[in-house]
Amino acid sequence: MIRAEMDLVVEMLHAYPMQYIGVIGRDGRPKVKPFEFKYEEDGKLWFDVMKHQETYRELMEHPYVEITVADRETTQWIRIDGKVRFVDLGDIKTKVIASSPVLQKVCEREGSQNVIPFTLDEVTVEMASLDTGMEKRVFAL
């Protein structure tokens, strides 16, 4: 992994904090859901899901996902695909919660016991633009 490539990915995810994640539903059909990137550390992108949500059960059954976001003005977009790996450790959960005001509010209402952090393994990133002047880039993280 080249640090500059990871920095580009993180910059794009922070610039557009509401991403969309594609999963395979328990009914076998594709689902696209709003999602939120939390932070990057040591070359790993961190996200979370709530244990009581259908998305958690879907990810348990079908761990491969694709996350995307696009800039309407520049038409630049990014797709990140990988395999979900749940990591339910206290220090990671604390960082995930601390990185998101939205999640902090949820935890104030519901507690943090249902927050399940995850990272992605086998990550491939594709960046491009609908503008023909930008060359598509594909790289592994």
- Count Cβ neighbours within 10 Å for each residue of 4-31 and write b for 16 or more, e otherwise: eebebbeebbeebeebebbbbeeeeeee
Residue 89: pLDDT band (50, 70, 90) is: confident
pTM (2 decimals)?
Answer: 0.92
Q: In a 3-state reduction of DSSP, which class is residue 57?
A: helix
* 16 or 85, higher pLDDT: 85
The pLDDT assigned to 53 comes to: 94
Maximum CA extent, the chain: 48
Cα distance between residue 78 and residue 29, in whole Å = 23
Per-residue model confidence (pLDDT) at position 56:
97
Domains for the chain: give ranges and CATH numbers: 3-140 (2.30.110.10)
| CA–CA dist 20, 118 (Å, integer) | 16
Q: How far apart are CA 68 and CA 35, in angstroms?
A: 10
- 41-77 pLDDT per residue, tens: 999 999 999 999 999 999 999 999 999 999 888 889 9
Q: Tell me the pLDDT band of 3, cut-offs 50, 70 and 90.
A: confident
